[in-house]
Structure 1
Amino acid sequence: MIYTITLNPAIDQLLFVKNDIEKRQANRIIRSEWDCGGKGLHVSGVLSKFSIKNEALGIVGSQNRAALYSILSEKQIAHDFLVQDGARTRTSFVIISEESSGSIMMPEAGFPTSEANKIALLEQIRQKVTQEDIVVIAGSPPPNFTLADFGTLLKAVKATGCFVACDVSGAYLHVAVKIGVDFIKPNEHEIEEILVDKTKTLVENINLLAKNIRYLIVSLSGEGSYCAHQGRVYRIIAPQVLEKNDTGAGDCFVGAFIAGISDQLPLQEILKRATGCSASKVMHADSSTFSMVEAEILKEQVTIIEVEEM
């Protein structure tokens, strides 16, 4: 079983406009759609699309859980969320222009997690997760979920002996690196913050970090990525596509990568498939859509080169 943990889930309201947003103008909304938000839920959506059994965990508010559950049902995402009474799951407003690439995201902060639910989540993990499972923790924690809380959560997951993937940023990424999870995916800016030796090259530092992390991916946005595994570093060059919205592309990569791990595919096949899925995602306007057909075509355009240390 694969479990995704989204500590601060959201309901995305997608607001489509004709042109780019301008101040002092009436930026008329053409249409509005709803989607689930939060990196872990996006990963679950990708896994479900690959027909891989998974369950989304996390904490949602009681006030609007029915709306979120309806979206998850449409996307065939199984879940077992803890519920916080009197709280409301946050909304992320995503403004998408139909005539240009990219989007504007304005997420709410989310509600503070109760101490009771922090404890309940740890107990849920102890009850559910076994050493044969995969756990993906992705996205920013909610207010009052401290670094100490995050460290306790990671240690509880690691104690099960399962494969632990972590897609977080900032100080939470530092905690994941220190504890030593099995998978991280910092971007080109975040990797600078966790370099082991700033006198060494990026590739040398990636190799050093990878000694304690089984799969280390460094995202280079539309340019592809680096991957370090078992003492080797690979440069993955992504296919060039027409970008509509890159929001969620990284989550798509993570979901497809974890799907490949679950299917026990060769590493280069996993990287090609994950990169193809991510490339397909940026061609679509919303936060989570990608095409399996497009991804199959695009993965054949992915180039992987083993990088020699400098």
Structure 2
Amino acid sequence: MIYTVTFNPAIDYIVRMDKPLDPGMTNRSVSEDCFFGGKGINVSTVLKNLGIENTALGFAAGFTGEAIVESVIKKGIISDFIMLKDGISRINVKIKSDEETEINAQGPEISQGALDELLAKLDKLEKDDILILAGSIPSSLPSNVYEIILERLESKGVIFVVDATKDLLMNVLKYKPFLIKPNNHELGEMFGTVLKTDDEIEEHAKKLQAMGARNVLISMAGDGAMLITEDGERFRVGVPKGTVKNSVGAGDSMVAGFVAGYMKTKDYRTALNMGTAAGSATAFSDDLATGELINSIYETL
């Protein structure tokens, strides 16, 4: 079974305007949308869209949390969220006019007792289960919570996938994650440099492998993606043709597509292409990509 964890899920409230935002005045929208997610939930959704059963874990609170959990269940994903007693899950406001303005909320406080409850759920994972950890850590949790989780599960043979940045990622490499997914800019920042060529990207990805990572998937926006495998192979893929509508969830979709592709074939080239197709399909959609669109793009790679 695949498990995802979303520590701080949110409702993204999208407000579209046909005029520039006028601070201090009453502004009126021309359309609105609500999207329920968070990085782990995004991964779970795309996995489900590709026909891969999975369980979404995390924390939710209040009426917004209930709505988020309900949305997960409606998608056919197994939900095992912990409902917090106080606070509400986040509502993030995204204002789209001539410019894009975001107001991201902080989210509810997560107590040590709630964290212990999550850890108890994760202790039930078994050999060859896949655990996907993605995103930042809420301020109410220990900054080393990723390390706490991986250390507890390391001896059980659980397969780790980590999509995080900087120290959050660097500090878990000692637990030998199966897959990590920095983008090329994040990879350079980890080593205090700017990476300009494929060879430089490969060189620094291999440094992360020397620190423990098994496979390094580097997303490169309009330049495609690169995979450095644990076998020392380098695979490269470009970007499919399409009109970019949305960047939210594209990286999460790439992780989901890669995991789905590898689970089905155990082939790294296939996994890279499926990951690229999934990330691109979400970028070409108003919401997270459907399985149908992902598979149609995959056929072009």
Contact 1:147 1:175 in 2 (8 A): no
Equivalent runs, 1:203-218 vs 2, <5 Å: 203-211=202-210, 212-218=212-218
2:132 to 127, 132, 136: 136
**What is the identity, as a one-letter code, of the residue corresponding to 2:81?**
F
Separation in structure 1 between the aligned mates of residue 218 and residue 128 of structure 2, nearest angstrom: 26
Q: In the alignment, what sits opposite 1:231?
A: 232
Equivalent runs, 1:178-193 vs 2, <5 Å: 178-193=174-189
Q: Residue 264 and residue 74 in structure 1: after superposition, are their counterparts in 2 closer, same or farther (change >3 A)?
A: same
Runs of 5+ consecutive residues of structure 2 not aligned to the other structure: none
Q: In the alignment, what sits opposite 2:106?
A: 109
Q: Residue 45 and residue 96 in structure 1: after superposition, are their counterparts in 2 closer, same or farther (change >3 A)?
A: farther
Contact 1:184 1:215 in 2 (8 A): yes
Cα deviation 1:43-80 (Å, max 9, x = unaligned): 00011111211110111114433211222233222211
Separation in structure 2 between the aligned mates of residue 17 and residue 160 of structure 1, nearest angstrom: 51
**What is the identity, as a one-letter code, of the residue corresponding to 2:130?**
I
Q: 1:243: Cα distance to partner? A: 1.0
Runs of 5+ consecutive residues of structure 1 not aligned to the other structure: 303-310
What SS does structure 1 have at the residue aligned with 2:78? Answer: coil
Q: Residue 103 and residue 228 in structure 1: after superposition, are their counterparts in 2 closer, same or farther (change >3 A)?
A: farther
Q: 1:195: Cα distance to partner? A: 3.5
Separation in structure 1 between the aligned mates of residue 200 and residue 292 of structure 2, nearest angstrom: 38
Query: Does 2:122 match 1:121?
Result: no
Equivalent runs, 1:64-213 vs 2, <5 Å: 64-96=64-96, 104-127=101-124, 129-195=125-191, 201-211=200-210, 212-213=212-213
Q: 1:197: Cα distance to partner? A: 9.7
My pick for the range that moved more, 132-141 or 68-77, is 68-77
Q: Residue 293 and residue 198 in structure 1: after superposition, are their counterparts in 2 closer, same or farther (change >3 A)?
A: closer
TM-score, structure 2 length as denominator? 0.88
Q: 1:134: Cα distance to partner? A: 0.5
Cα deviation 1:209-248 (Å, max 9, x = unaligned): 2242222111111221111101112222111321111111
Separation in structure 2 between the aligned mates of residue 18 and residue 75 of structure 1, nearest angstrom: 32
TM-score, structure 1 length as denominator? 0.86
Q: Residue 268 and residue 27 in structure 1: after superposition, are their counterparts in 2 closer, same or farther (change >3 A)?
A: farther
Contact 2:60 2:66 in 1 (8 A): no
Contact 1:111 1:143 in 2 (8 A): no
CA-atom RMSD in angstroms = 2.5
Separation in structure 2 between the aligned mates of residue 276 and residue 95 of structure 1, nearest angstrom: 28
Cα deviation 1:141-177 (Å, max 9, x = unaligned): 1112223333112212323211100111232112222
Separation in structure 2 between the aligned mates of residue 6 and residue 108 of structure 1, nearest angstrom: 15
Q: 1:104: Cα distance to partner? A: 4.4
Cα deviation 1:81-134 (Å, max 9, x = unaligned): 11210121111223346xx8x95443212122101111111111112x001210
Contact 1:55 1:78 in 2 (8 A): yes
Q: 1:23: Cα distance to partner? A: 4.0
What SS does structure 1 have at the residue aligned with 2:234? Answer: strand
Equivalent runs, 1:299-310 vs 2, <5 Å: 299-302=298-301
Q: Residue 219 and residue 277 in structure 1: after superposition, are their counterparts in 2 closer, same or farther (change >3 A)?
A: same
Separation in structure 2 between the aligned mates of residue 270 and residue 254 of structure 1, nearest angstrom: 10
**What is the identity, as a one-letter code, of the residue corresponding to 1:235?**
R
Contact 2:256 2:278 in 1 (8 A): no
What SS does structure 2 have at the residue aligned with 1:218? Answer: strand
Contact 2:46 2:291 in 1 (8 A): no
Separation in structure 2 between the aligned mates of residue 35 and residue 134 of structure 1, nearest angstrom: 26
Separation in structure 2 between the aligned mates of residue 142 and residue 176 of structure 1, nearest angstrom: 17
Equivalent runs, 1:58-69 vs 2, <5 Å: 58-69=58-69
The alignment-based identity, stated in percent, is: 26
Q: Residue 66 and residue 197 in structure 1: after superposition, are their counterparts in 2 closer, same or farther (change >3 A)?
A: closer
Q: In the alignment, what sits opposite 1:296?
A: 295
Cα deviation 1:244-280 (Å, max 9, x = unaligned): 1111111111111111222234211121122112111
Q: Residue 26 and residue 280 in structure 1: after superposition, are their counterparts in 2 closer, same or farther (change >3 A)?
A: farther
Q: 1:135: Cα distance to partner? A: 0.5
